Chain A
Amino acid sequence: AQTVTQSQPEMSVQEAETVTLSCTYDTSESDYYLFWYKQPPSRQMILVIRQEAYKQQNATENRFSVNFQKAAKSFSLKISDSQLGDAAMYFCATFPASGTYKYIFGTGTRLKVLA
């Protein structure tokens, strides 16, 4: 069975600073996808970044980047130049490339951005 672990229930970062949210996962799949979603107080689930496991290059989207360590099954999210609007719950998720067709989510990390 696939599992996703986010060991930091809550993190804080000063505005304009950098923060890293950790995520580890366990899967027996050889091919899969990894995602970070953001859920602000509005409740909307917003895709932040996506990584294909077969790609060695870390995905980047503007101020958001990942550190994907496939052997260690680690998929951390780095947010640079943090902004007040980054405050939200962040969920890590895995998705197999075949078979069960469903996301497995972690328990989330609440990020607070301090002005």
Chain B
Amino acid sequence: GAGVSQSPRYKVAKRGQDVALRCDPISGHVSLFWYQQALGQGPEFLTYFQNEAQLDKSGLPSDRFFAERPEGSVSTLKIQRTQQEDSAVYLCASSFIYRNTEAFFGQGTRLTVV
């Protein structure tokens, strides 16, 4: 596809349920980022991959959050035992590796935990 694709677009989970959010980056983009955007707020960094290597996971809010990118392309963000405070839009972005190049964002997955 031409852009970053995320699925599902919307997810409603019962509290305690596990969820998996998928990101298909732009073909050839080495870097992949996950951000969390709470309602009315700016996106906040969660984690960063360079190819299949997870170079930074300092933004993951708890050990219930896990991300992977096993083949250096598609990435999955998994949230275990979801809590109401996990409700947010989860954005994926990809870019080339070069300095200060544009990060392209997907449309996000809106997660609502009830």
A-B interaction? no
Which positions in A face B, CB cutoff 8 Å?
A: none
Which positions in B face A, CB cutoff 8 Å?
A: none
